[in-house]
């Protein structure tokens, strides 16, 4: 009798021990991770140099554009820009390059390509104060167009009351004097200095070739660069959206899979407990009979 009770007790313990052991869930297929696009390669040294060069060129063009705009804004009713009472002009001829008769170059001579500094007269009184030998700037008609010209005064013209009404002028490098008198209204100011050679750059920029090479072509290249940059950023943005969408889908699938595994474990645990309870109920009547 005792042996049978011991054997029944050992069987119950074994079943309890079996029920307590962790149950390995059936392996589940893990969700397949989305394919992540390869990360863009690090910008090369040459690419950085090109980017810096384009940025510098952009700044130069912007500064050039700003200068043009400022020159237009500061232009008064005179029809040309002035800065703090001075105007700067690019010389387009050699009429004042040297003395025609002697061939000597004076301190106030200037040549094509130079930039001259002109002190703008404040009023007619100042315009009437110029003397023979002064180099003045005045409005003239050149090639059927109104333009500024700068020559030397060779004669002061006064009226019957002794008031200065105009000047006769001559380019030092011209064989003859100018044919018409420069009235006080035509006179704009007096020459005060020059910068040799700088005007050649301005003259080149004013030419069709210079404008095409230095302005239009760089502007077109910058525009193409900006368009390419926008397209590149759009592509990179779409790639990031694709990667983020894949990561979200993977995380959601992993969460759902984990939830299903937990539910399966609970079902297996409940089934084992139910089977253990059923076996214990079957063994209980046997034990009662044994005791009797």
Read off the pLDDT of residues 31-85 as tens digits, 9 standing for 90 and up.
Answer: 454 444 444 445 567 777 877 877 777 777 777 667 666 665 555 555 677 777 8
Q: What is the DSSP letter of 99?
A: -
CA gap 178, 181 in Å, rounded: 8
The answer to whether 115 and 199 are in contact (CB under 8 A) is yes
Highest mean pLDDT among 27-31, 197-201, 206-210: 206-210
- Give strand ranges (E) for 159-242: 164-170, 182-183, 187-195
* Length of the chain measured in residues: 292
- The mean-pLDDT minimum among 25-29, 193-197, 204-208 falls in 25-29
Per-residue pLDDT, 41: 47
Angle CA 90–87–123, to nearest 5: 135
Mean pLDDT of all residues belonging to the chain = 78
Per-residue pLDDT, 273: 87
193 phi and psi angles, rounded to 5 deg: 175, 175
Per-residue pLDDT, 8: 44
Helix, coil or strand: residue 36: coil
pLDDT exceeds 50 at position 202:
yes
| Confidence tier at 226 by pLDDT (50, 70, 90) | confident
Domain chopping of the chain, boundaries: 1-74+208-292, 76-206
Cβ within 8 Å of residue 195, ≥6 positions away: 114, 115, 117
pLDDT exceeds 60 at position 173:
yes
Burial of 127 (0-12, 13-18, 19+ CB in 10 A): buried
Q: What is the DSSP letter of 151?
A: E
- Does the domain spanning 76-206 belong to CATH 2.10.109.10? yes
CA gap 93, 71 in Å, rounded: 23
Per-residue pLDDT, 159: 92
Q: Which two tokens stand for residue 153?
A: 């005064």
Per-residue pLDDT, 201: 65
* CA-based torsion, 145, 148, 154, 157: positive or negative: positive
CA gap 188, 123 in Å, rounded: 9
Region 110-135 average pLDDT: 92
pLDDT exceeds 50 at position 196:
yes
| Confidence tier at 5 by pLDDT (50, 70, 90) | very low
Q: What Cα–Cα distance (Å) separates residue 146 from each residue in 139, 143, 171?
A: 7, 8, 18
| Confidence tier at 155 by pLDDT (50, 70, 90) | very high
Region 245-260 average pLDDT: 86
- The mean-pLDDT minimum among 47-56, 154-163, 175-184 falls in 47-56
166 DSSP β-pair partners: 157, 183
Q: What is the dihedral of CA 207, 209, 213, 217, to 10 degrees?
A: 100
The answer to whether 118 and 138 are in contact (CB under 8 A) is no
SS (H, E, C) 227-262: HHHHHHHHHHHHHHHHHHHHHHHHHHHHHHHHHHHH
| Confidence tier at 206 by pLDDT (50, 70, 90) | low
Helix axes 217-291, 45-74, angle to 10 degrees: 130
């Amino acid at each position: 009798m005792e042996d049978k009770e011991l054997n029944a007790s050992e069987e119950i313990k074994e079943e309890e021990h079996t029920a307590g052991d962790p149950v390995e869930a059936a392996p589940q297929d893990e969700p397949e991770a989305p394919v992540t696009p390869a990360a863009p390669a690090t910008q090369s040294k040459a690419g950085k140099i090109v980017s810096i060069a384009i940025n510098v060129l952009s700044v130069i063009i912007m500064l050039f554009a700003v200068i043009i705009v400022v020159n237009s804004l500061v232009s008064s009713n005179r029809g040309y820009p002035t800065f703090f009472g001075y105007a700067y002009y690019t010389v387009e001829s050699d009429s004042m390059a040297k003395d025609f008769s002697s061939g000597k170059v004076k301190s106030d001579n200037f040549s094509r390509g130079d930039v001259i500094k002109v002190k703008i007269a404040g009023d007619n009184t100042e315009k009437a104060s110029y003397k023979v030998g002064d180099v003045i700037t005045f409005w003239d008609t050149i090639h059927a167009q109104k333009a500024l010209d700068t020559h030397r005064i060779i004669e002061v013209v006064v009226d019957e009351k002794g008031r200065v009404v105009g000047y006769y002028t001559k380019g030092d490098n011209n064989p003859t004097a100018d044919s018409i008198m420069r009235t006080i209204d035509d006179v704009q100011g007096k020459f005060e200095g020059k910068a040799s050679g700088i005007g050649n750059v301005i003259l080149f920029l004013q030419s069709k070739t210079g404008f095409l090479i230095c302005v239009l072509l760089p502007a077109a290249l910058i525009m193409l660069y900006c368009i390419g940059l926008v397209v590149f950023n759009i592509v990179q943005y779409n790639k990031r959206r694709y990667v983020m969408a894949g990561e979200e889908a993977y995380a959601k699938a992993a969460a759902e899979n984990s939830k299903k595994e937990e539910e399966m474990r609970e079902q297996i645990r409940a089934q084992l407990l139910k089977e253990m309870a059923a076996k214990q109920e079957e063994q209980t009547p046997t034990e009662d009979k044994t005791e009797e």
